[in-house]
Amino acid sequence: MKPFLPKLVYFEPQALEYPLGKELYDKFTSMGLEVRETTSHNQIRDLPGDNELQKYRYAKSTLVIGVRRTLKFDTSKPSAEYAIPLATGCMGHCHYCYLQTTLGSKPYVRVYVNLDDIFAQAQKYIDERAPEITRFEAACTSDIVGIDHLTHSLKKTIEFIGQTEYGNLRFVTKFSHVDHLLDAQHNGKTRFRFSINSRYVIKNFEPATSPFEDRIEAAKKVAHANYPLGFIVAPLYMHDDWEEGYYELFERLHNSLKDVSLPNLSFELIQHRFTKPAKKVIQERYPNTKLEMDEEKRKYKWGRYGIGKYVYQTDDATRLEQTIRSYIQEFFPDAEIQYFT
C-alpha cells in the first residue's frame, strides 16, 4: 500500500507563520497538489461531492494544516495520562472506529504546526507530575504514523520526549510507513504499537490500511531500532469462528517475530463497542457493512460525560478476555498484558 497523499490541501493563513507550516506549503505546492485557504481548520465548507457520502469520502483524502489553539490536553486512560494533540482525523476507513462520531461532520485530516507550543504544554504536565512518569498518547484522534511521512511531527515529538526525564510517548498505527522514524533519538521513552486483528476483521472492516503482513514487517523494523514494542488487539470481535481466527492471528504473529528480540513486549485488549449515534453514522457511511451492532445482544455501559456504549454481555466479554489471554500466554509468555477493556 502506498503512503497517504492528499487529493486536496487547505491551509489556515496563520499556519504559514510557523516553520512547519511554511515547509508543508512549499512541499505541497511543489508537488502540484491543489492547495486552498481556509479561515479555520474547524470550518471546511467547500469540499467536493454531490451528497454527504461523497463529501465524507473526499474529506478522508483531504489534509488541513492549522494551528492548535486549545492547549489543554485531554486525558487518555487507560493507556496514558494525556493525549498529545498532533493531528485529528484519519485517512483509514475502519468501519468500527469511534472517530466516526467523535469527529462528526469534520472527518478530514488536520495537522497542527505550532509544535513548540504543544511541546511547552507537555513539559508543563511533566513538571507537574514529576518525579512520576507522565505518559502521552499521540494517536487518540488520528493514526499519526499514517501522515508522518509528510509532516515529521511525530518524529519531532519522539525526539522531544526522548530528551525529557519523566516523559513517555505512546501511539498506535495500522500503517507500515515507518522508515523515517527508525533513526529518531527515542532513548527508549516511546512505545511503538501496532493494531492487529483476525483476518476476518481486517478484511471486512479495515479498508485503506496497511495489510497485516506489512504491519508486522514494520514492527520488526521498529524492534530492531530498539523501540519498546506493543500490539493493540482492537476491536476484539466475536465473528463466526472467532476462537480459531484469533488463535491463527497469534500463531502468525509468533512465527513472524520468533527471531526478533522483544524484551518489553506489551499487549492491550479492547472489546468491540459502539454507541447509538455511532451505529447510525456507520450504517450511513458504510451501508453494506457486516459489522454486528445489535443492541439486544449487548450490555449497556455508562461512559464519561454520561455517554453510554454497547459492549459484549458479561459472560461473552469474560470468555473473550480469557481466550485471548490464553493465546498470548501460549505464544508470548513473557509479554505484559496491560489491560482488557
Whether residue 250 is contained in a domain is answered as yes
pLDDT, position 105: 73
In the numeric block, the cell 492547549 is attached to 71
Beta strands 62-66 and 75-76, pairing class: unpaired
pLDDT surpasses 80 at 304: no
Strands, E assignment, 38-163: 62-66, 75-76, 80-83, 87-88, 109-112, 134-137
Whether residue 300 is contained in a domain is answered as no
Whether residue 71 is contained in a domain is answered as yes
Domain span at 227: 8-255
pLDDT digits (tens, 9 = 90+) for 197-221: 999 999 999 999 999 999 999 999 9
CATH of the domain at 141: 3.80.30.30
Q: How confident is the model at residue 135 (pLDDT cuts 50, 70, 90)?
A: very high
pLDDT, position 60: 93
pLDDT digits (tens, 9 = 90+) for 140-188: 999 999 999 999 999 999 999 999 999 999 999 999 999 999 999 999 9
When divided into structural domains, the chain yields a total of 1
- First-last CA distance in the chain: 31
Share of the chain above pLDDT 90, in %: 88
Whether residue 120 is contained in a domain is answered as yes
pTM above 0.85, yes or no: yes
297/63 Cα distance (integer angstroms)? 38
pLDDT, position 303: 72
pLDDT surpasses 90 at 306: no
φ, ψ for residue 35, nearest 5 deg: -120, 130
Whether residue 309 is contained in a domain is answered as no
Q: How confident is the model at residue 78 (pLDDT cuts 50, 70, 90)?
A: confident
Whether residue 339 is contained in a domain is answered as no
pLDDT, position 126: 98
Whether residue 287 is contained in a domain is answered as no
pLDDT, position 53: 86
Whether residue 269 is contained in a domain is answered as no
To the nearest whole number, what is the mean pLDDT of the chain?
95
Which of 19, 36, 38 is CA-nearest to residue 28?
A: 36
The residues facing 166 across adjacent strands are none
Q: How confident is the model at residue 335 (pLDDT cuts 50, 70, 90)?
A: very high
pLDDT, position 305: 62
